[in-house]
Amino acid sequence: MITSESDEGPTSTYFDTCIVAVGFEQRCRWVVSKHKIRTAKGVGLQFGFLAEGSYDDNQAFFLKKGFELAAGLSSDTPSVISEAIQNSTPSGEIRTIFVDISSMSRQMIANVVLGINLAAAAFPLRVTVAYAPSKFVGPVAQAPIRFASPILPDLAGWSSTPEKPLAAIFGLGAEEGLALGALQTLEPDKAWLFTPKGIDTRYDKAMLKANEHIADIFEVNRFDYDIVRPTATRARIEYLLNSIDGYFRVVSVPFGPKIFSWLSLSTVVFEQRNEVGVWAFSSKEHGKVVDRRAQGQIIWHTMTVIRPT
């Protein structure tokens, strides 16, 4: 469970464990480099494909810092992360973990959350997440949905009451038609949409344009959220889940900024909401690869996680 949280940046740049993505985006190393993040145990999660763009530079950067590389999308990834955390040497009364989600896929973020949850069974953890939004490069080109399923088998969230109506909680992004296609696939009885307010008005306009036809087809409730206030956003997610618990089967679809994926997944996993499913929809290899650069601002979210005995 989550016992405390904050949007403040870290008071120290040293962490017992550091978890990053090692992929094709320059953003992979930007936060660690800019803030001189130090660690005794570094884990670089790889995608296993798309070894292009800035991949070679990212790999060299983290290997030089002593990071161990591991598969980030494997069924074994949560165990690898948990073991790294448990085998690290604590620098204080509580073990500290740094996670840069900026260049992670949603499936990779899910594996990280599950790994942290496994380690939290052994001792309390203080988790600091960094999210560096990318520079806006224009609307995301539309690509057909090729993947639609629970993001991971452990997050399928199969309900014990399948006769209840289906509720869907969506985060919205700037991918044209993606959220609408996902809604048409799920056909929920009721849907709540979380609309991000970012740090670039061009992204906000592109996001609204990409999702403009949803209200023509579905009856939805909308919540606006500020991506620079993750604690308030997570509180709203948890309040909504508490409000509809017992009345619906619930599926979460965390499109949009990666910080919303982190907040949704951490709420479901750390708060032991085992009946809530987390689904992923994507174009897989049909999407266009873009080597994104950091916009310049970092959004922080720190929480203390414990597993009740």
Per-residue pLDDT of the chain (309 residues; tens, 9 = 90+): 999 999 999 999 999 999 999 999 999 999 999 999 999 999 999 998 777 889 999 999 999 999 999 999 999 999 999 999 999 988 888 999 999 999 999 999 999 999 999 999 999 999 999 999 999 887 776 777 888 999 999 999 977 888 999 999 999 999 888 999 999 999 999 999 999 998 899 999 999 999 999 999 998 999 999 999 999 999 999 999 999 988 999 999 999 999 999 999 999 999 999 999 999 998 655 445 677 888 999 999 999 999 876
Helices 106-120 and 77-87, interaxial angle, to 10°?
50
In the chain, ranges of CATH 3.40.50.11700 domains: 147-286
By C-alpha distance, which of 63, 103, 149 is closest to 289? 103
Contact 107, 144 (CB under 8 A): no
Classify domain 2-135+293-305 at the CATH topology level.
Rossmann fold (3.40.50)
* Max Cα–Cα distance, the chain, nearest Å: 55
| Sheet order of strands, 220-226 included | 147-150, 277-282, 249-254, 166-171, 190-197, 220-226
Q: pTM score, two decimals?
A: 0.95
Tokens at 119, concatenated: 């380690």
Classify domain 147-286 at the CATH topology level.
Rossmann fold (3.40.50)
Contact 114, 107 (CB under 8 A): no
Amino acid at 30: W
Contact 53, 24 (CB under 8 A): yes
